[in-house]
Amino acid sequence: MNGNKNKVVTRFDLRQLIILLFIFSFSDFYAQKNDLETFKKLSTYLQTYIDYKRIPSISAGVYRKGKIYWLDAKGLIDLENFVPAKNSSLYRIASITKSITAVAVMQLYEKGLIDLDAEISTYVPYFPKKKWKITVRHILSHTSGIRSYKSEEEFNSKMFYSSIRDAVLTFANDDLLFEPGTKYNYTSLGYSLLAALIENVSRTSFENYLRRNIFEPAGMKSTRVDRQSAIIYERVRGYEKSPDRRFINSPLADLSLKVAGGGLISTSEELLLFIKALLNGTLISKTTLDMMLQPTILKTNQRINYGFGFALSDPSDSLKWFGHEGRGTGFSSGLMIVPEDDIAAVYLINIRDRNLGNPARDLIKIVKGENVIVTKTIADHLFDNYNAFGIDSLISEFNRVFDTQDSEFNLSAEECAYVGYALADINQNPDAIRYLRNVNRKIPNNFTILKALGDVYYKDRNNGLALRYYREAHLLKPDDMYVKNMIDKLTKK
């Protein structure tokens, strides 16, 4: 009798097991099907992005729930030799480097080797004391008062600095811009001081410290300092666009001035590995990461959406994120992490250009099932007409696009004004004036457009009309110092 009961129970258990296996198999199949559909949407987005933004290439990836979820790369990393982008292609990551440097500093903090509120000269004795005390905390949060680049030439510096010390000495004797903690001034040069701190405290080079304490623990085998003179396989070439929107090679730049603020090269995959190691406690503890993600509060009580090496979402943003974007010579990059959803995304692009948007945010929205719209750059479109048919065609096409409010284009005042500036940059001042006067009729009483008209008339040496439009712009924004200075300059002539 008991044997029969056992047989019944066994049959019942077996039926339950089969049903459960079927449910799990179906659920797994359904999940895989959803993932495949999402992968297709993500890759389609990348191709649309390349086509609409007219960029050479993009590499991107998504991290989800503890794993690298998706990777892809599209376009060309070398336009002259038709070299296609791959997941292993090495891009300049620009200011994402700051996040890595900040994590390295916080590792030393965790070990009790540094005090965030100590004066920086405590750890970098060759950096002279200033009128006010500069702390490690100030430098991490860009509130130190240390200057940024003096010019585009310094941004694209060709000078090779053989050591971090030599790079720091280029600005070490400069006055501070303000009392530390009272204002925010984003500066890559300040992060060179953090590299110096790391070297002096750890007694090894900045590069060696990163390799042993960040790259190796995270599994980042290819990430390295971008040395201009070195032969680096799979290194991507950088580009820019001329004023009339044609691809040109980016200027030669040596990144030794700003290694800690923007001097690394990496892949999308390895940046996702960095994110994984950051979130799972491999690199720093959760408590330390939380400390890095606190917004900076100035002495004036103003909140700055930046912590230690990471930008932070504004309280009004529906998406709660932290991350960093970068714009370097010939490259653009972005990293965004949404902790509550355990999702992150990165992108690497081999051009520095305007109107690139935020592909990392777009990729996260796609994974979350939201719709994404990629806009075209109006300047690219209008210069197609201009280069082929002249100014009348450009104005006619602008009017068509603007009057229909074509959703494919970014029609902000800034983007519309840029076309006028670009025409002036190629010494077509009369065409720039015609175009901007037309835009002024479409977008009346707009500070950006009126300022652009003032600038173009001034470049055309028509000081009377330049003054007129500067004054109209001044009425809309009386506190703008550039316009005020231009008015003063013209009225004194």
In tens, the pLDDT along 342-401 reads 999 999 999 999 889 999 999 999 999 999 999 998 999 999 999 999 999 999 999 999
Total Cβ atoms within 10 A of residue 216:
11
Q: What pLDDT score does 16 carry?
A: 65
Q: What pLDDT score does 18 carry?
A: 59
Q: What is the pTM of this model?
A: 0.88
Rounded Cα distance between 221 and 232, Å, is 13
Length of the chain as a residue count: 493
State the amino acid at position 483 in one-letter form.
V
Is the confidence at residue 29, as pLDDT, over 90? no
Burial class (CB in 10 A: 0-12, 13-18, 19+), 371: exposed
Question: Stretch 43-57: mean pLDDT, rounded?
Answer: 96
Buried b (16+ CB within 10 A) or exposed e, 33-53: eeeeebbeebbebbeebbebb
Q: What pLDDT score does 21 carry?
A: 54
| Confidence band for 30, pLDDT divided at 50, 70 and 90 | very low
Q: What pLDDT score does 168 carry?
A: 95
Mean pLDDT lowest among 90-94, 250-254, 428-432, 458-462: 250-254
Q: What pLDDT score does 256 carry?
A: 87
Mean pLDDT lowest among 7-21, 152-166, 194-208: 7-21
Q: What pLDDT score does 355 carry?
A: 86
Rounded Cα distance between 44 and 410, Å, is 20
Residue 266: phi, psi to the nearest 5? Answer: -160, -175
pLDDT per residue as tens digits for the range 252-293: 888 889 999 999 999 999 999 999 999 999 999 999 999 999
Average pLDDT, the chain: 93
The answer to whether the CB of 338 falls within 8 A of the CB of 318 is no
Is the confidence at residue 1, as pLDDT, over 70? no
Question: Stretch 399-425: mean pLDDT, rounded?
Answer: 94
Helix axes 481-491, 463-476, angle to 10 degrees: 140
The set of residues, in sequence order, having a beta carbon less than 8 Å from that of 426 and lying 6+ positions away, is 243, 244
Rounded Cα distance between 122 and 139, Å, is 14
| Confidence band for 15, pLDDT divided at 50, 70 and 90 | low
Rounded Cα distance between 257 and 157, Å, is 7
pLDDT per residue as tens digits for the range 282-316: 999 999 999 999 999 999 999 999 999 999 999 99
| Confidence band for 79, pLDDT divided at 50, 70 and 90 | very high
Question: Stretch 421-438: mean pLDDT, rounded?
Answer: 97
| Confidence band for 9, pLDDT divided at 50, 70 and 90 | very low
Q: What pLDDT score does 14 carry?
A: 61
